[in-house]
């Protein structure tokens, strides 16, 4: 079937929903989301959203902290814009109903996290993302101009050139006309035509074996954009969260950075506090430093995990400040008020993504990328904690302002007849093990060889292996009828290859990208590894 809408938004996390609520003032909004509405990284964010809201803090300090964390390659103009737009965007979230904690005196209660020189994290204890997602969804579901279609997975973008249509008003430029979207239940693939398409599909954590990310994080937006010819950048900068709960039954449970911010100390199995040996900021060092320190400790000691200890703080404080972490750990038999928490690093955040300008535009007309899918220049070589929720809401506003300007021209556009999806000679896949096995192979390869500390030889080896695996996936894609699992496998195979290509191109160690062969930083680094 062919559907027509003004704005097609792919993904229902903070980025997509924030844009949807604004765009509904202009036209009809259709959101497609591949699982349930709440299935997103946003829903899991614990720490909060970074923003200058205290008289003792300043934009200059937030900008400086972001630039330091970004290891010299942030786009300073973008950093400044994002930081200075922060207070207005947090006020909008409050107006929508996000219950950020206040200090009882009319101000927000601001938390502190690693890499921040001031208390500037607006939070709803450790359920911040859950509260943001719930408030945004409540607003979107009550808007008559927004339709949210669950269990609809975008497969590929629709391009004017491939549809045999003239491109855009700017001659020679490619133009996005929407996307092919599969309905998970019927497996039917529909054509969604749109005046503006927003990629807000989140991150890429599932490319790695161990991750804090939810299952949806398979880099679909980045993969679709790359296949369509959009520029992607800085995919070598994968942030590994230093503290993921280590327990055989726990799946992807993150212990927030805020635990260290509130005095939590990292210790080894013998009780030795080790962070001061790696960084003068000790336990408040940035994530990359802490993750690398833990990686070194584990490789040296052969232990399964290190420990994060906050048990010296009053039990009542711990239970109030970290209710979700407290109850989840307790469900695994760990009482964090009286014992340390076993933790390991895990893939957490993709700093790179679809390259956009300061308005969220990609190099394909009428295609925007927002949130974790985008590479805006804010994070540079390493994202500062809690800057990603901020980036998502700020760039939703930027993209909206850009669309608003073009709207008189856009709204007059006619509906075109676009090609329907053709399955060719494809047959039903009878043995799903083909997909699950290849999926596991890719994720383990990436974990073992393209993790926190990298080496050129290993990267080249992975590249060879991935080339074979990608050929297999290509065959499955042509031979078998598409399923959501196959769509995701195709995307993680591409993302893995793009991450390795990017890592091989950056011949230095900077921020999250640590190469044993090139331990120093270059004097004149490229700010963007563009593929």
Ligand X SMILES: Cc1cc2nc3c(=O)[nH]c(=O)nc-3n(C[C@H](O)[C@H](O)[C@H](O)COP(=O)(O)OP(=O)(O)OC[C@H]3O[C@@H](n4cnc5c(N)ncnc54)[C@H](O)[C@@H]3O)c2cc1C
**Which residue numbers are catalytic?**
287
Supply the minimum distance, in Å, between the C-beta of residue 382 and ligand X: 14
| Terminal-to-terminal C-alpha distance of the chain | 34
Comparing CB distances to ligand X, the nearer of 352 and 525 is 352
Query: By CB under 6 A, is residue 371 in contact with ligand X?
Result: yes
Comparing CB distances to ligand X, the nearer of 179 and 293 is 179
Query: By CB under 6 A, is residue 70 in contact with ligand X?
Result: no
Q: What is the dihedral of CA 306, 284, 110, 334, to 10 degrees?
A: 10
Query: By CB under 6 A, is residue 346 in contact with ligand X?
Result: no
E strands of 85-200, at which residues? 110-111, 121-122, 146-149, 152-159, 176-183, 189-199
Query: By CB under 6 A, is residue 101 in contact with ligand X?
Result: no
Pairing between strand 374-375 and 353-355? parallel
Query: By CB under 6 A, is residue 201 in contact with ligand X?
Result: yes
Comparing CB distances to ligand X, the nearer of 245 and 318 is 245
Query: By CB under 6 A, is residue 243 in contact with ligand X?
Result: no
Comparing CB distances to ligand X, the nearer of 92 and 456 is 92
Q: Which residues contact 104 (CB under 8 A, 6 or more apart)?
A: none
Query: By CB under 6 A, is residue 13 in contact with ligand X?
Result: yes
Comparing CB distances to ligand X, the nearer of 129 and 377 is 129
Contact between 28 and 151 under an 8 Å Cβ cutoff? The reply is no
Among 9, 19, 21, 47, binds ligand X (CB under 6 A): 47
Contact between 459 and 449 under an 8 Å Cβ cutoff? The reply is yes
**Piece in contact with ligand X (CB under 6 A), picked from 186-194, 212-220, 412-420, 457-465:** 212-220
**Piece in contact with ligand X (CB under 6 A), picked from 72-80, 201-209, 264-272, 511-519:** 201-209
Instruction: From 194, 133, 152, 192, select the one nearest 392 (Cα to Cα).
Output: 133
Query: By CB under 6 A, is residue 386 in contact with ligand X?
Result: yes
Among 19, 30, 34, 247, binds ligand X (CB under 6 A): 34
Query: By CB under 6 A, is residue 389 in contact with ligand X?
Result: yes
Query: By CB under 6 A, is residue 495 in contact with ligand X?
Result: no
Strand partners, 245: 343
Query: By CB under 6 A, is residue 213 in contact with ligand X?
Result: yes
d(CA 354, CA 221): 8
Segment holding 10, helix H or strand E: strand 2-10
Query: By CB under 6 A, is residue 242 in contact with ligand X?
Result: no
177 token code pair = 């006309």
Q: What is the SS3 assignment for 164?
A: coil
Among 70, 86, 115, 129, binds ligand X (CB under 6 A): 129
CA atoms within 13 A on the CB side of 181: 29
Query: By CB under 6 A, is residue 220 in contact with ligand X?
Result: yes
Query: By CB under 6 A, is residue 182 in contact with ligand X?
Result: no
Binding-site size for ligand X (CB under 6 A) equals: 43
Contact between 195 and 413 under an 8 Å Cβ cutoff? The reply is yes
Chain centroid to CA 279: 27
d(CA 393, CA 117): 22
Contact between 336 and 326 under an 8 Å Cβ cutoff? The reply is yes
**CA angle 144–145–150, rounded 5-degree value:** 90
Find tokens 């927000």 and name the residue.
108
Query: By CB under 6 A, is residue 48 in contact with ligand X?
Result: yes
Find tokens 């809401």 and name the residue.
393
**Piece in contact with ligand X (CB under 6 A), picked from 36-44, 277-285, 297-305, 437-445:** 36-44
**Piece in contact with ligand X (CB under 6 A), picked from 85-93, 269-277, 366-374, 422-430:** 366-374
Query: By CB under 6 A, is residue 16 in contact with ligand X?
Result: yes
Query: By CB under 6 A, is residue 392 in contact with ligand X?
Result: yes
> Which residues within the stretch 148-167 sit at the binding site for ligand X (CB under 6 A)?
153-154
Supply the minimum distance, in Å, between the C-beta of residue 484 and ligand X: 8
Among 15, 176, 196, 255, binds ligand X (CB under 6 A): 15
Find tokens 């669309």 and name the residue.
403
CA atoms within 13 A on the CB side of 297: 28
DSSP 108: B
Footprint of ligand X (CB under 6 A)? 10-16, 32-35, 39-42, 44-49, 128-129, 153-154, 200-203, 212-213, 216, 220, 254, 349, 371-373, 386-389, 392
């Amino acid at each position: 079937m062919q559907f027509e809408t003004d704005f097609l938004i792919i993904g229902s996390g903070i980025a997509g929903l924030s844009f949807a609520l604004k765009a509904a003032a202009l036209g009809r909004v259709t959101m497609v989301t591949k699982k349930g509405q709440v299935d997103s990284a946003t829903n899991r964010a614990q720490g909060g959203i970074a923003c200058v809201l205290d008289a003792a803090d300043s934009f200059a300090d937030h900008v400086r902290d972001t630039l330091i964390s970004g290891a010299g390659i942030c786009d300073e103009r973008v950093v400044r814009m994002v930081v200075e737009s922060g207070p207005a965007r947090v006020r909008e979230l409050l107006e929508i109903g996000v219950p950020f904690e206040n200090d009882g005196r009319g101000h927000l209660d601001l938390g502190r996290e690693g890499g921040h020189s001031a208390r500037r994290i607006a939070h709803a204890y450790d359920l911040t993302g859950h509260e943001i997602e719930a408030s945004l969804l409540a607003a979107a579901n009550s808007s008559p101009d927004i339709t949210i279609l669950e269990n609809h997975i975008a497969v590929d973008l629709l391009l004017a050139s491939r549809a045999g249509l003239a491109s855009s008003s700017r001659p020679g430029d490619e133009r996005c006309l929407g996307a092919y979207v599969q309905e998970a239940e019927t497996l039917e693939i529909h054509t969604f035509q749109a005046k503006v398409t927003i990629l807000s599909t989140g991150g890429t954590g599932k490319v790695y074996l161990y991750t804090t990310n939810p299952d949806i994080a398979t880099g679909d937006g980045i993969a679709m954009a790359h296949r369509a010819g959009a520029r992607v950048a800085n995919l070598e900068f994968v942030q590994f969260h230093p503290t993921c709960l280590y327990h055989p039954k726990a799946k992807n449970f993150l212990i927030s950075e805020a635990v260290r911010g509130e005095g939590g100390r990292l210790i080894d199995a013998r009780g030795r506090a080790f962070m001061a040996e790696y960084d003068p900021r000790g336990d408040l060092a940035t994530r990359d430093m802490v993750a690398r320190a833990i990686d070194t400790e584990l490789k040296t000691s052969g232990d399964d995990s290190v420990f994060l200890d906050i048990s010296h703080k009053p039990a009542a404080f711990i239970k109030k400040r970290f209710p979700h972490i407290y109850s989840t750990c307790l469900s695994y038999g760990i009482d964090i008020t009286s014992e340390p928490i076993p933790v390991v690093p895990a893939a957490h955040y993709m700093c790179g993504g679809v390259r956009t300008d300061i308005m969220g535009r990609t190099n394909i007309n009428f295609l925007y990328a927002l949130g974790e899918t985008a590479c805006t220049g804010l994070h540079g070589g390493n994202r500062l904690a809690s800057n990603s929720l901020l980036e998502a809401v700020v760039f939703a506003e930027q993209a909206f302002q850009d669309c608003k300007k073009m709207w008189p021209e856009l709204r007059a556009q006619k509906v075109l007849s676009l090609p329907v999806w053709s399955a060719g000679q494809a047959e039903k896949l009878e043995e799903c093990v083909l997909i699950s096995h290849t999926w596991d192979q890719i994720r383990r390869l990436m974990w073992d060889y393209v993790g926190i500390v990298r080496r050129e030889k290993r990267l080249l080896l992975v590249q060879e292996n991935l080339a074979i695996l990608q050929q297999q996936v290509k065959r499955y894609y042509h031979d078998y009828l598409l399923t959501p699992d196959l769509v995701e496998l195709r995307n993680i195979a591409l993302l893995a290859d793009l991450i390795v290509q990017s890592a091989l191109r950056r011949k230095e160690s900077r921020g999250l990208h640590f190469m044993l062969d090139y331990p120093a930083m270059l004097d004149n680094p490229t700010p963007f590894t563009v593929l």
